[in-house]
Amino acid sequence: MVVLESYRGRRVAVLGLAKSGLAAARSLLAGGAEVQAWDDNPKAREAVVSEFALVNLAEIDWRDVAALVLSPGIPHSYPEPHPAVVRAREAGVEILGDLELLGRAQPDARYIGITGTNGKSTTTALIGHILAEAGARVEVGGNLGTPALSLAPLGRGGTYVLEASSFQLELIPTLAFDIALLLNVTPDHLDRHGSMEAYVTAKRRIFAGQEPGGAAIVGIDDEICRDICGELRRGQPARIIPISVREAATGGVYVESGWLVDAMNGPATRVLELASAERLPGSHNWQNAAAAYAAARSAGIAAEAATAAICSFPGLAHRQELVDTIDGVRYINDSKATNADATEKALACYSDIYWIAGGLPKEGGIAPLKPYFKRVRHAFLIGRATEEFAATLDGSVPFSRCGDLAKALAAAHEQAHRDGVADAVVLLSPACASYDQFANFEQRGDRFRELVAELRAGRAHSA
């Protein structure tokens, strides 16, 4: 834990008591601050009633409060600010997030920040892996995994690799990243930001305050990021490194004919055939790999060390995670794919797919995936989306109504082994939220893993 000493003896309000808020409250308390904490959810309050002074922050006197630490999930502007935020603003109280507090408590460390609509977690974990493999002192967290203030203190010579959501970026008034990455921007979370413009403004914040020694790494394969890259070129003091999987990005890192190409320093050099990075399948992951490579090089890691670590990356759970291979059939857990967009990335990677799909459907369903249907040998439908997905598949893909994940996996397993095609893949990529049958996508993916382990054990028994 990073102890926040600078608020000793002062009153600090913490609003939102989920993982990151709790970590912040504990760091403040450990550093001698007087913490006043609140969460609108009574269950969240009950869980910490013995630990913190709980007070409704919409009703306190804000005059002598030193700061409001806000969880990224709480609206501070759109659709309307939380009442406590209004009161804090009226009283001129500074409003911060946990990343900002980490930056202030550990000013001598190096900061690598990663944002984008998709690929943040993968890229964050990959950069952490490359740095760790190279022997660097590194801590990885933020929006991914460990909250910022639960990370270890690193001091000079250490590096924090932080995934930053757009909401978190709105809460870092002074933290400047030494190395900042913006992967891509597509419409998302407009419910929270109100407009695309506000969302883009939040994402751009990743590059604020950068200095000449720093690096601004930008994906240029979507129009919005390409524009941002153009703007950065007109005044960003940090070095700008464009990333592309579509074109030869001058001065950047790009992918050409399946090779990672480093053109950061003079002549373009092919540094890695990306097919050898087994846990980073698909061109979306190549974008992540190219960006991570650029970040690692900017952090002083040698090219060979960076590419070797890209190949040894174990991958993240629930994102096209290879769970097992049983008699030549691969079992892949892509439970994180909660919409058609994410599932498209997985379908594009394989050719003989036994596809487990369904759950709580999103608007548009799986109709956008029609171009990939020819890769699907059979679909195994689960959850509330069953009839809607059945109607979309009807006539182009054979399907079964399976009800739940256990039955779907048993049926997919059975059929994949019966068909005996080379390269068969049993793929859980639901294109749906999980809430009709699971607490979250993690639980759904964990269940898939357990069930595959049972299949493997069954094979061992019958062998």
Per CB under 6 A, 121 contacts ligand ADP = yes
Q: Choose, by CB under 6 A, the member of 76, 82, 279, 336 that binds ligand ADP.
A: 336
Residue facing ligand ADP at closest CB distance: 119
Is residue 287 part of the contact set for ligand ADP (CB under 6 A)?
yes
Give the binding-site size for ligand ADP (rule: CB under 6 A).
16
| Rounded Cα distance, 159 and 153, in Å | 10
Tell me how far apart the alpha carbons of residues 463 and 457 are, in angstroms, rounded to a whole number. 10
Task: State whether residue 22 is helix, strand or coil.
Answer: helix
Report the DSSP beta bridge partners of residue 381: 357, 401
User: Closest separation between CB of residue 401 and ligand ADP, Å?
Assistant: 25
Contacts of 193-200 spanning 24+ positions with Cβ under 8 A: 193/78, 193/166, 194/77, 194/78, 194/79, 198/77, 198/78, 199/166, 200/224, 200/228
Q: Least separation, in Å, of the C-beta of 117 and ligand ADP?
A: 7
Span 149-188, contacts to ligand ADP by CB under 6 A? 183-184
Contact 412, 353 (CB under 8 A): no
* DSSP 8-state secondary structure symbol assigned to residue 150: G
Q: Which residue type occupies 270? A: R
Task: Provide φ and ψ at 230, rounded to 5°.
Answer: -60, -45
> Which region, judged by CB under 6 A, interacts with ligand ADP, from 102-110, 113-121, 401-409, 443-451?
113-121
Closest to 431 measured CA to CA, from 375, 332, 359, 354? 359
Least spacing, CB of residue 400 vs ligand ADP, in Å: 24
Nearest distance from C-beta of residue 331 to ligand ADP, angstroms: 16
CB 318 within 8 A of CB 442: yes
Cα–Cα distance between 74 and 9 in angstroms, integer?
A: 26
- Rounded CA-CA distance 210/145 in Å is 25
Residue position matching structure tokens 């509330």? 384
Q: Is 461 a catalytic residue?
A: no
Name which position in 319, 377, 413, 449 contacts ligand ADP (CB under 6 A): 319
Query: Given candidates 74, 342, 379, 433, which one binds ligand ADP under the rule CB under 6 A?
Result: 342
Find the part of the chain contacting ligand ADP (CB under 6 A) among 197-205, 247-255, 298-306, 330-338: 330-338
Distance CA 328, CA 308 (A): 26
Tokens of 116: 């984008």
Q: Which is nearer to ligand ADP, 203 or 297 (CB)?
A: 203
Active-site pick, 143, 184, 333, 339: 143
Largest alpha-carbon pair distance within the chain? 73
Nearer to ligand ADP among residue 123 and residue 307 (C-beta): 123
> Does residue 236 touch ligand ADP according to CB under 6 A?
no
Q: Which of 36, 71, 118, 244 binds ligand ADP (CB under 6 A)?
A: 118
Is 353 an interacting residue with respect to ligand ADP (CB under 6 A)? no
Q: Is 337 in the site for ligand ADP (CB under 6 A)?
A: yes
DSSP string, 354-417: EEEEESEEPTTTTGGGGGGGGGEEEEEEEGGGHHHHHHHHTTTS-EEEEESHHHHHHHHHHHHH
- Residue selected from 87, 129, 205, 284 as contacting ligand ADP according to rule CB under 6 A: 284
CA terminus-to-terminus distance, the chain: 49
Rank residues 383 and 430 by Cβ distance to ligand ADP and give the closer one.
430
User: Judged by CB, which is closer to ligand ADP: 60, or 309?
Assistant: 309
Respond yes or no: is residue 417 known to be catalytic. Answer: no
Candidate list 97, 119, 383, 430; residue touching ligand ADP; CB under 6 A: 119
Residue 120 sits in the site that holds ligand ADP (CB under 6 A): yes
Cis peptide before 371 (omega within 30 of 0): no
Which one, 4 or 218, has the nearer CB to ligand ADP? 218
Q: How far is the CB of 116 from ligand ADP (least distance, A)?
A: 6
- Non-local (6+) Cβ contacts of 384 within 8 A are 358, 359, 360, 361, 436
Tell me how long the chain is: 463
Q: Which is nearer to ligand ADP, 27 or 184 (CB)?
A: 184
Report strand pairing: 53-54 vs 65-70: unpaired
129 binds ligand ADP (CB under 6 A): no
Choose, from 82, 120, 129, 193, the residue flagged as catalytic.
120
Active-site residue, 374 included: no
Within 164-302, residue ranges assigned H as helices are 166-169, 190-193, 196-204, 223-233, 283-298
- Selected range binding ligand ADP among 150-158, 282-290, 351-359, 390-398, rule: CB under 6 A: 282-290
Which candidate in 189, 362, 407, 417 is catalytic? Answer: 189
Catalytically active residues are 120, 143, 189
Residues that bind ligand ADP (CB under 6 A): 118-122, 183-184, 284, 287-288, 319, 334, 336-337, 342, 345
